[in-house]
Amino acid sequence: MKLLRVGVKGKEKPAALDKNGKFRDLSSHITDLNSDTVNFETIKKLESIDLESLTEISNSERIGACINKPGKFVAIGLNYSDHAAESGMDAPSEPIVFMKATSSINGPNDDIEISKDSKELDWEVELGIIIGKDTKNISEKEAENHILGYCLVNDVSEREWQLKKMGQWVKGKSHDTYGPIGPYLVTKNEISDINSLNLSLDVNGQRMQTGNTDKMIFNVFFIVSYLSKYMTLQAGDIITTGTPPGVGMGKKPQVFLKAGDTIRLSIDNLGEQNSKVVAE
C-alpha cells in the first residue's frame, strides 16, 4: 500500500493511493498515520478494504508528512563511501548515528525555510525506513520482520551549524522544515529489492545527486539491527539512511541553497518531492 496524509497543515486526513492513482479517504477507518496506527495490525486491517469504495480526495490537495509525530527520527551519517570521500571524511567502520528533531518534519512539497542566520544550507536525498513494532536487540536476519515500509526523506542540513558550531550534528539537522518526508509511506511488499533503488536530486532543474541504495556501506537490515542494540525502536519511528554523493558541501566550489531555489528529489517506487526554499 501507499499511504499518505492529505489536507491543510495540522488538519490532514489519512489516505491511500488506489490502483488508479487516486487518493482515497481512510478517516472512517483510522484517525491518522502516527505512532498509534503505523503498525502491522493497522496495515492488515487496511489491506482488507476495497479502496475504490472510499471517498475520493482531490489529487490537488496538499500532501502532508506521511507520518504525524513519530516517537523518533533517527539518522545515519556518511553511509555512502563516495559521499564520505566528497566530505573529506573516512568511510565509517560502524554506523554514525544522530537524531533529527521530530519538529523538523515537513510535508514533501512544503517550503523549506532558510533562517536569517543560515550560511550553508544543503540538501540530501535519502531512503527512510519506517518501523512497524517494538524492536530491541534483534539480529540482522530478523530486521525485515520489524520494518513496516519506506519513505523518501530530504535530510536538509545547515553545514555551518552541523560542523562548525561544536557538539553533535543534531543542531545542523533539526531546524523547522529540515525534515521533509513522503509523499508516501510505502509498505515493504511494494518494494522488490530495497537494496537496489535509484535515488536522485535536482536543484533548480540541475542534477546534483545520483545514486543507488546498493552503494550503502551499511544496508537497511544491518542498520535496524545495529540501532536496536542501543535503543528500542518503536512503531512509527523513522530511520533515514544516508545520502549519495553530490551534496553542495562537496562541490568545488561549494554550492549552498538560497531563497528562491527549487529542489526535486525522487527514489524508485517511493514518489518524489518538490520544495522551494523561502526566507524565514
In this predicted structure, the answer to whether residue 84 has a pLDDT above a threshold of 80 is: no
Predicted confidence band at 82 (pLDDT cuts at 50, 70, 90)?
Answer: confident
What's the number of domains the chain is made of? 1
pTM score above 0.75: yes
Q: Which domain holds residue 164?
A: 65-279
52, part of any domain? no
Give the separation between CA 155 and CA 149, rounded to whole angstroms. 18
In this predicted structure, the answer to whether residue 159 has a pLDDT above a threshold of 90 is: yes
Closest by alpha carbon to 259, among 241, 274, 278, 234? Answer: 278
E strand or H helix that includes residue 83: helix 81-86
Mean pLDDT for the stretch of residues 249-269: 97
Summarised one tens digit per residue, pLDDT across range 130-151 is 999 999 999 999 999 999 999 9
Summarised one tens digit per residue, pLDDT across range 226-244 is 999 999 999 999 999 999 9
- Helices assigned H by DSSP within 184-242: 220-228
Closest by alpha carbon to 129, among 92, 193, 75? Answer: 75
In this predicted structure, the answer to whether residue 122 has a pLDDT above a threshold of 80 is: yes
Mean pLDDT for the stretch of residues 243-261: 96
Predicted confidence band at 91 (pLDDT cuts at 50, 70, 90)?
Answer: confident
E strand or H helix that includes residue 161: helix 159-163
Write down the mean pLDDT value for the chain.
96
In this predicted structure, the answer to whether residue 87 has a pLDDT above a threshold of 80 is: no
37, part of any domain? no
Q: What is the pLDDT of residue 178?
A: 98
Mean pLDDT for the stretch of residues 92-100: 96
Q: What is the pLDDT of residue 85?
A: 79
- CATH code for the domain of 124: 3.90.850.10
Q: Cell for 146?
A: 520489524
Q: What is the pLDDT of residue 88?
A: 80
256, part of any domain? yes
Q: Cell for 175?
A: 531546524
263, part of any domain? yes
40, part of any domain? no
Q: What is the pLDDT of residue 83?
A: 78
Give the separation between CA 111 and CA 171, rounded to whole angstroms. 20
Among 23-27, 45-49, 166-170, the minimum mean pLDDT is found in: 166-170
Predicted confidence band at 120 (pLDDT cuts at 50, 70, 90)?
Answer: very high
35, part of any domain? no
Q: What angle do CA 127, 128, 134 make, to 5 degrees?
A: 145
207, part of any domain? yes
